[in-house]
Amino acid sequence: MNKLRGVVIAAVALFSISLHSGAALAQKKIVMGFSQIGAESEWRTANSESIKSAAKEAGIELKFSDAQQKQENQIKAIRSFIAQKVDVIAFSPVVESGWDTVLREAKTAKIPVILTDRAVDSKDTTLYTTFMGSDFVEEGRKAGRWLVEKVKSQPGDVNVVELQGTVGSAPAIDRKKGFEEIIKAEPRIKIIRSQTGDFTRAKGKEVMEAFLKAEGKKINVLYAHNDDMAIGAIQAIEEAGLKPSKDITIISIDAVKGAFEAMMAGKLDVSIECSPLLGPQLMSAAKDLMAGKTLPRRIVTEESIFPKEVAAKEFPKRKY
């Protein structure tokens, strides 16, 4: 009888330990290592804010690192997250190439990786669990379609200067690709100059000054891969004595607050939306991963296009 009592007590004790550890496991705080590109644009600032506030909301411990737009700093940060044995790593790769080695190290350490915002060109798709972010090619197509539609009613050549994003980055490569795919249909539209402004206002202004010096009044359109470069270019256009949107049609991407302000001032013609508000989606993906769920390989953010005619009406609703 005593023996049976002993077995029952041991079984109850074992059961309660397993319950407790199971509950403890279930309550274990998820630790995420996030490597952010930098703070190069309004978009990036809003993206960082979204990730930090969503982590707090989700009760996820966030180890956040800012790489100042340098790939080597992102690689260092990912290695540090691996050494700290975080539960999940997420990052926005500043450029598409050069990630396989460090992603293999994360895979060996059995730490899942989520790509947010920008893609990598790794052929081995087991190196990351999912990629969530915009379709940059489609953003470029939207810019191209808007311009083709606009010039239908205007005779003559349409000379475009293009401010590209960071060299080698997914948004720069894809926004160029999508735009060129569409404007092919209208031979009057020609890209006469194209150079990187690295997604910043300062560089956008500097390169636009050079475009104006070289091409002057030949320029009919500016296509900027983000609003910050467009805003820098608007300053250069005004300093050259020209009227932005009147003398030079301006198309840009992101739809940040600064773009709405420029459109309401009549200085920017259209901004294609590229939402930085990826935080909530990222945190819910991390929780699903930790709960053993399978994530879709690709999660695309839904986006719109805002011509200046709707800017004043839409501006109060904007969240970034």
* Contact residues for ligand GZL, defined by CB under 6 A: 40-41, 43-44, 117-118, 133-134, 171, 199, 226, 228, 253-254, 274
* Displacement of CA 318 from its chain's centroid (Å): 17
Question: In this complex, which beta carbon is closest to ligand GZL, that of residue 130 or of residue 220?
Answer: 130
Q: How far is the CB of 74 from ligand GZL (least distance, A)?
A: 13
Residue 49 CB, shortest distance to ligand GZL, in Å, is 14
Taking alpha carbons only, the member of 167, 72, 73, 170 closest to residue 120 is: 170
- Minimum CB distance to ligand GZL smaller for 47 or for 249: 47
* Shortest Å, Cβ 308 to ligand GZL: 19
Q: Are 224 and 230 in contact (CB under 8 A)?
A: yes
Identify which of residues 130 and 159 has a Cβ nearer to ligand GZL in the complex: 130
Q: Which residue is nearest to ligand GZL (CB)?
A: 43
User: Is 87 or 269 the residue whose CB approaches ligand GZL more closely?
Assistant: 269
Q: What angle is formed at CA 254 by the lines to CA 304 and CA 212, rounded to 5 degrees?
A: 120
Decide whether 134 or 281 has the Cβ nearer to ligand GZL: 134
CB of 219 to ligand GZL, least distance (A): 22
Nearer to ligand GZL, 203 or 308 (CB): 203
Nearest distance, CB of residue 36 and ligand GZL, angstroms: 11
Smallest distance, ligand GZL to C-beta of residue 10, A: 57
Residue 300, token pair as written in the block: 């695309």
Measured distance CA(158)–CA(221) in Å, rounded? 7
How far apart CA 237 and CA 252 sit, in angstroms, is 15
Residue with Cβ nearer ligand GZL (220 or 271): 271
162: phi then psi, degrees, rounded to nearest 5: -120, 125
State the minimum distance, in angstroms, from the CB of residue 71 to ligand GZL.
14
